[in-house]
Structure 1
Amino acid sequence: MKKLLLFTAVALLGLTATNAQVKLGFGVGYAVPSGDVADFTDGGISAHFELGYGVTENIDVSFLYTGDFLVGADLDEAGVSGSIGNVAVGTYMVNGRYYFTESGFRPYGSLGLGLASIGAIEVDGSSAELAASTSNFAFRPALGFKYGVLNMNAAYLSAGKTGEASVNDISFNIGLLFTFGGK
């Protein structure tokens, strides 16, 4: 009986390995702050890295890391002037992607769920220091397309709150998404 179970497990593993599609992707983009963080930051840069697996031709599951850096702004409101530091958001997520077509131009929708680490960085002249840091639950829905290895998307990141300020952004990304193995 043990030999039959072992044979079945090896056969199933071999069957899935022949159609396995490992995904490797990375890219950069522009992040536009939204929510309360938009009151004291300007736009910034966004970068991402992902490593995943193609479950079927239309479904991918991946580990996704994104890093968004929002540049602080100068304030001059109601007679109060000063500058606000930068905000850095790093997220570690499990991301699911569904492709609406199977070949050529492939539009998709995706959803990432995970942990966001938010850090406020104060810049003063030539030195920088971490002013505040917090971790929250985060989600990241996105719409995009893949054509060959080119991957473009627009994503909304909700990284929770730091203090009383909500930290969200909308990013527009371009990158490469490679597929190894499979058909």
Structure 2
Amino acid sequence: MRKLVLLAIFAVGVFFTSNAQFKIGANLNVGIPTGDLNDAVGIGVGGTVTGLYEFSNSFAAGVQIGYISFAEKDNSGITFSVIPITAVGKYYFSESNFKPYISADLGLYSMKAKASMLMSAYDISVSATKTNFGVAPALGFEYLLSEKLLLDANAKYTNIFTEDSPTSYLGINVGFVYKF
């Protein structure tokens, strides 16, 4: 029985690695706050790193981690940052050099809000950190620049499920993907 299990694991490993296409990507992000977040903070900037495994020419899945920091709006003293740690799935509509796709991220979003103000020579600062589940559907494309390098661009709507109302922002993301 033990040999049969080991043989099955070996066979699955050989199958996946023989057809495998691993990708590692890095994107720069610009976040445009929406909803209640737009009332509190300004534009955000950050980046993400993604690792993907192509199961077929039309589907890939993997993990993503990132960081985005939103600036204060109108000298309010309020800043906000998000660290997403998510699973991601991508469905490609084409197998050509230009590959449009839809994708979805599902996972945890660690958020930190900070408020600061100067009052009678005292710098008062308060911060809070919370982690919530969220989703982020995206529409984008990959464009083959060389045999191993692709340009990746997408628009992603992040919706974090917070208590009173969702925390959300639209991300415009551009970066590069390296295929192994």
Length-normalised TM-score, structure 1? 0.84
C-alpha distance in structure 1 between counterparts of 2:63 and 2:125, whole Å: 29
Of stretches 45-54 and 90-99 in structure 1, the one that deviates more from structure 2 is: 45-54
> How many aligned residue pairs are there?
171
Q: Distance in 1 between matches of 2:160 and 2:46?
A: 14
Equivalences for 1:145-160 in 2 at 5 Å? 145-148=141-144, 149-160=150-161
Distance 2:94 2:51 in 1: 21
Q: Matches of residues 1-183 of structure 1 in structure 2 within 5 Å? A: 3=3, 6-74=6-74, 83-123=76-116, 131-148=127-144, 149-161=150-162, 164=164, 166-180=166-180
Return the TM-score normalized by structure 2: 0.85
Q: 1:144: how far off? A: 0.3
Cα distance between partner residues in 2 of 1:43 and 1:37: 10
Asked whether the 8 Å contact 1:142–1:156 carries over to 2, the reply is: yes
Shift of 1:129: 5.7
Query: Structure 2 regions of 5+ residues with no counterpart?
Result: 145-149
* Partner SS for 1:83: coil
Distance in 1 (CA, whole Å) between partners of 2:159 and 2:72 is 19
CA distance in 1 between partners of 2:125 and 2:21 (Å): 42
SS in 1 for 2:17: helix
RMSD of the alignment, in Å? 2.2
Give the share of equivalent positions with the same residue, in percent: 29
Given the superposition, is the C-alpha separation of residues 129 and 18 from structure 1 closer, same or farther in structure 2, using an over 3 Å criterion? farther
